[in-house]
Structure 1
Amino acid sequence: MPLINKSELNYRYSWTAIPGDNPKVTGEPDSTRFSRNEGYEVLYLINKLAEIWDFKKLASAHKIEKMIKNELPSDIQTQKGVKDWIKANW
């Protein structure tokens, strides 16, 4: 069960996958390119990290979202990079 859903996100995102992009992201965070402006990518990563780190509170999901949207350095562009950065800066 996801910790957060689309209607609970605090920021605005694009929800249209560009050609070649998969809106149904699955699996573990890896070297796949990540966009902080694509809602389905942000939502997937928040829920995946909540699952990995056993977060149970919506506040934790919102903190991850805020970190991604407002604090994530622009040179971090992979799912794994985002995961590692959030873990180091929690």
Structure 2
Amino acid sequence: MSYKKSEMLYDDGVYYKWKAVADHDNPYYTKGIDHSELNRTEGYEILYFINHIGVKHWPVNPLNLSTYNKIERMIRHSVPSDIRTHKKIADWIISNWSKV
């Protein structure tokens, strides 16, 4: 199961941006580099990141909707704002999974 835009908790048309405004933005974002920063308000980046972390860190146990929702909530409300790279955010989520 993969997480879909229609299942996202904060896809209310206000929080996430789904159109690339800047020339360097890619609305069809399909890859994340561990050292690159995750833009937490660009929906396509968050959606890819959530699916990527799910497959990478829970490959044997398929994720359900509540797990995807928890990852999204953690990114929005729990991951400290000074943690910005894909790798550091993923590491923080995994190490704090049972605490949040």
Same fold at TM > 0.5: yes
Q: 2:49 aligns with which of 45, 48, 54?
A: 45
Q: Percentage identity across aligned positions?
A: 44
CA RMSD of aligned residues (A): 1.6
Instruction: Compute the displacement of 1:66 (Å).
Output: 0.2
How far apart are 1:29 and its partner, in Å? 4.7
TM-score (normalised: structure 2): 0.79
- Give how far 1:24 is off: 2.7
CA contact (8 A) 2:32 2:49 kept: no
Quick one: distance in 2 between partners of 1:25 and 1:81?
A: 19
Cα drift, residue 56 of structure 1: 2.2
TM-score normalized with structure 1 length: 0.87
Aligned to 1:16: 19
- Asked if residue 78 in structure 1 is aligned to residue 85 in structure 2, the reply is yes
Query: Gaps (5+ residues) in structure 2?
Result: none
Q: Which has the larger radius of gyration?
A: 2
Q: How many pairs were matched up?
A: 89
Q: Distance in 1 between matches of 2:52 and 2:41?
A: 17
Q: Quote how far apart the aligned CAs of 1:22 are.
A: 2.3
